[in-house]
Structure 1
Amino acid sequence: MTIRVTVWNEYLHEKVHPEVTAVYPDGIHAALAAGIGSDGFEVRTATLEEAEHGLTEEVLASTDVLIWWGHMGHDKVEDAIVDRVHQRVMDGMGLIVLHSGHFSKIFKKLMGTGCDLKWREAGEKERIWTVNPAHPIAAGLPEYITIENEEMYGEHFDIPAPDELIFVSWFEGGEVFRSGCTWNRGQGKVFYFRPGHETYPTYYNPEVLRVIQNGIKWAAPSGAATPVRGNHQPLEQIGSKGN
């Protein structure tokens, strides 16, 4: 079955910052859509300034995995849309949150924590170590991925303990960071992946794209039956005590 992917990007930096436009002339969402589309997914994009941020009920109903990149427009995302995305995750839609999306309303709502961290923009080397090589998201990847220029994120990362930790980053300045984490929320799966600052060409890196492609496959709905909750009639006849 083809996995239906929606790549959401606020698409603001690319319009106002020439240094970002130079790297992603058609937007981060376009680069991601092109980069992951080679794996046979059905991919579309949505951006902040579209009606309902491009995340209508119809779009979300036909999305198996939503990818989220945001930074300077977190506060511009309407709460009603956040609630809509949250419900879809609880109902089984996968969510992949990238880089500065750690401060998005949807990620904070799903984590229930502040999601803050250390950061520094100095174009330093990042080495992403695979610490769970048996995980499906690590399939086909080397022991580590080296990115020559990236923004630093450092611990402590204010998130709940991940259900699974797949990648840990080391930075040239000395910090480390839990850079690949997964959680289950309701029927849905959430994957946070750290790299992707807007002024660096990280989303053209084939190994970074492989991580995201693997994450899509992992986060896609499993097709399992939806649990039934609340008052429930017995499946078998219940005998009276003493019989």
Structure 2
Amino acid sequence: MNDGLSRRLGAEFVGTAFLLATVVGSGIMAEALAGGNVAIALLGNTIPTGAILVVLITMLGPISGAHFNPAVTLVFAVRRDIPATEAIAYVAVQITGGLAGVWAAHLMFDLEVLQISQKVRTGSSQWFAESVATFGLVFTILATLRARESAVAMSVGLYITAAYWFTASTSFANPAVTIARGFSDSFAGIRPQDVVPFVSAQLIAALVALVFCNWLLLFRQSDHSQ
């Protein structure tokens, strides 16, 4: 493995780990402080997640592209922006980084490190919500890359902040996040048996978003040339 790839994989690992530590840790903190008010707990989970995405993408984007998400990596692999072998390595470190972030959150809050979530997240509305959330995330990334690359970090952070509230699933939109949250019996958790439908919806929606963006952005480009 060359040094450049090692650094990219290191960035994807630590970025995904910090993302999950934030998602799960802020969920634990928010639930503890909200006094049973689920809306306040969700708000306390939402703001840190959107904020950390801006920070992580700004810091690590120049190194690895700051995917932190197998669905995003799949899109860039299909676009041939990243070789298939590197994409597989990205996904592996995203998943392991996500698990490391969950375990770090548990340690920080003095909880049992190894957990299995009991939080039910299933049904057609949840799966459709994940499709919408992931389509919107990929659309945001690709369209913002075309419009103003320097705005990607802020756009993604703001999109996820909004999608926590307008989607029924609270916008996981990320297979690595979904898998890792299966191992946290906390506010942010998801039962392991609910993970596969979520991930399937995310991956399909990511590819649909890529097809749509290929059409839309090509249309815009030709329109501006007229």
Q: Flag whether TM exceeds 0.5 (same fold).
A: no
Question: Which protein has the bigger strand share?
Answer: 1
**Structure with larger Rg:** 1
Question: Which protein has the bigger helix share?
Answer: 2
